[in-house]
């Protein structure tokens, strides 16, 4: 497996720029998730890397050797040794599972069949699948065969295009596990394209957020989630509570009290981004409100999700501010209850652009 490097990639169709100034490095043996809404240019980026289309600007290189350069060298897709798992697997309907997996192998190995079996094992499918036809497989099995087929010829990089879309929750988790295990076993360098935040955060060593053709941020999942570059990204990767505040050195004062922030450069008026699970609820019955400490709020209602719940609150001190808090407790406060709020962990702050008057 190898390192993938995209430098200043740009591609437009007619006047419409689909990708602009995309820089992306996927280190050898790691998985990077490209996260973007539909229409953000994810698929175009993927097709550039595989080689179905040529970049207007920039270069793509694998292990230091250029495979595509704007206006110059353009290695054909079949010569790049980049594996590709299309949406819904795209299995050849006229071939059996084994023939599908063997498709990219040299003629000799195709006949021998050992690598075919190995690749099927890798994705957790036994040899009893070999003779089946694609339409006899479930959706999840089809994706796995698609991955086995891509991995069989030992590609330098594997690209996965929305590999779990359209699967139900249970199958999704199961297939995700099988795919993660297979990729790890092969030590694969992989790029996963998805619009699903949880999928990107849980699978990627790094996550790159693609927004209208530009990479807004590339970071590890935890950095991306806790310190997004802007509020847009913050809201895209998860639920966010945003309030106004006044920042000092390493802290920020807002309606939720004085909170810690790793951003020591920010000063003055800022927007404070807090994840709902950072807001802890203190039941006033257990700890009666003290005048100086906890922030008091009225419970308006809640959304119940099973493992967790999102509680809607209105602040006592500032009735215009509505916020929500995520709680894991079984005993959820009811509408009308009064609770105290305590924020844990650092929060992210973003300077407010003062409107020019």
Partner 1 sequence: MSVARMTRRRSDVSWRLLGLSAVVAILIVLPIVIIAIQAFQGGTAALADALGASSSRTLLLNSVLVALVATPICGVIGLGAAWFVERTSLPGRRLWALLLVVPLTVPLFVTSYAWSTLSSGLQGFIGAAGIISFSYYPIVYLLVAVSLRGLDQALEDSARSLGLNPRQIFFRVIVPQLRPALLGGLLLVTLDTLVEFDAFVALKFQTFSLDVYAQYRLGFSTSGAAALSFFSIALCIILLLTEGRLRGNANYTRVSRGARRAPVRYELGRWVLPVLAGVGGVVAIGVGIPVGMLIRWFTQSSSAGLSSASGNLQFLWPATRTTVLLGVSSALVALVFALPVAMLAIRHGGRFARLVERSTYLSYALPDLVGGIALSYGAVHYARFLYGSFGLLVFAEAVLFVPFAVVAMRATLGQIEPALEDSARALGSGPFATFRRVTMPLARPGALAAAVLVFAFSLGDLATTQVLLPLNLFTLGTEFQNNSGSVALASAAPFAAVLMVLAMAAAYVLMSRFGTVRAFADGDRG
Instruction: Say how far apart CA 356 and CA 8 lie, in whole Å.
Output: 34
Task: Please say whether the beta carbons of 134 and 79 come within 8 A.
Answer: no
Residue 119 Cβ, how far from partner 1 at the closest point, in Å? 12
Q: Output 136 or 177, the one with its CB closest to partner 1.
A: 136
Q: Six-digit token pair at 192?
A: 């996963």
Element (H, E) at 182: helix 169-186
- What Cα–Cα distance (Å) separates residue 139 from each residue in 43, 148, 150, 263, 273? 21, 14, 17, 45, 39
Return the number of the residue (156 or 326) whose C-beta is nearest partner 1.
Answer: 156
Whole-number minimum distance, CB 190 to partner 1, in Å?
A: 14
Q: Which is nearer to partner 1, 76 or 330 (CB)?
A: 76
Minimum gap (Å) between residue 76 Cβ and partner 1: 7
> For residues 110 and 205, which CB has a smaller minimum distance to partner 1 in the complex?
110
Choice between 52 and 345, CB closer to partner 1: 52
Q: Please name which of 87, 99, 178, 105 lies closest in space to residue 132, comparing C-alpha atoms.
A: 99
Strands, E, within 63-212: which ranges? 65-69, 82-85, 157-161, 190-194, 206-211
Shortest Cβ 98–partner 1 spacing (Å)? 14
Q: Phi/psi of residue 294, each to 5°?
A: -75, 155
Q: Kindly list the distances between the CA atom of residue 129 and the CA atoms of 146, 163, 284, in Å, as whole numbers in the listed order.
A: 13, 20, 59
Give the nearer residue to partner 1 in terms of CB position, either 38 or 114: 38
In angstroms, rounded to a whole number, what is the distance separating the alpha carbons of residues 44 and 18? 7
Which of 195, 215, 234 is closest to 25 using CA atoms?
215
Interacting residues toward partner 1 by CB under 8 A:
13, 39, 43, 47, 50-54, 76-84, 86-88, 90-94, 103-104, 133-137, 146, 149-150, 153, 155, 159, 166
Quote the least distance from Cβ 199 to partner 1, whole Å. Answer: 19
Q: How far is the CB of 325 from partner 1 (least distance, A)?
A: 37
């Amino acid at each position: 497996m190898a390192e993938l490097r995209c430098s200043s990639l740009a591609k437009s169709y007619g006047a419409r720029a689909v990708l602009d100034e995309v820089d992306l490095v996927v280190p050898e043996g790691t998985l990077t998730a490209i996260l973007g809404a539909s229409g953000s240019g994810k698929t175009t980026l993927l097709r550039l890397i595989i080689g179905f289309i040529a970049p207007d600007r920039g270069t793509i290189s694998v292990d230091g050797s250029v495979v595509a350069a704007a206006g110059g060298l353009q290695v054909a897709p079949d010569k790049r040794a980049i594996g590709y798992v299309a949406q819904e697997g795209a299995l050849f309907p006229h071939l059996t599972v084994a023939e599908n997996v063997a498709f990219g192998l040299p003629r000799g190995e195709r006949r021998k069949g050992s690598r075919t079996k190995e690749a099927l094992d890798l994705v957790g499918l036994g040899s009893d699948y070999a003779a089946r036809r694609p339409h006899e497989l479930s959706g999840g099995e089809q994706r796995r065969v698609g991955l086995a087929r891509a991995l069989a010829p030992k590609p330098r990089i594997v690209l996965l295009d929305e590999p779990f879309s359209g699967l139900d929750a249970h199958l999704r988790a199961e297939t995700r596990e099988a795919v993660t295990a297979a990729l790890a076993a092969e030590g694969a360098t992989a790029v996963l394209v998805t619009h699903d935040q949880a999928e990107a955060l849980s699978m990627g060593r790094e996550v790159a957020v693609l927004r209208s053709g530009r990479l807004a941020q590339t970071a590890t999942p935890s950095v991306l989630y806790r310190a997004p570059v802007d509020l847009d990204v913050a809201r895209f990767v998860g639920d966010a509570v945003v309030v106004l505040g006044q920042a000092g050195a390493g802290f920020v004062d807002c309606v939720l009290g004085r909170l810690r922030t790793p951003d020591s450069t920010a000063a003055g008026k800022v927007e404070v981004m807090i994840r709902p699970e950072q807001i802890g609820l203190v039941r006033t019955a257990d700890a009666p409100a003290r005048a100086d400490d906890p922030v008091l709020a009225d419970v308006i209602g809640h959304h119940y999700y099973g493992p967790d719940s999102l509680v809607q609150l209105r602040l006592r001190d500032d009735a215009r501010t509505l916020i929500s808090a995520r709680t894991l407790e079984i005993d959820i406060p009811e509408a009308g209850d009064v609770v105290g709020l305590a924020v844990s962990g650092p929060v992210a702050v973003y300077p407010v652009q003062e409107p020019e008057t």
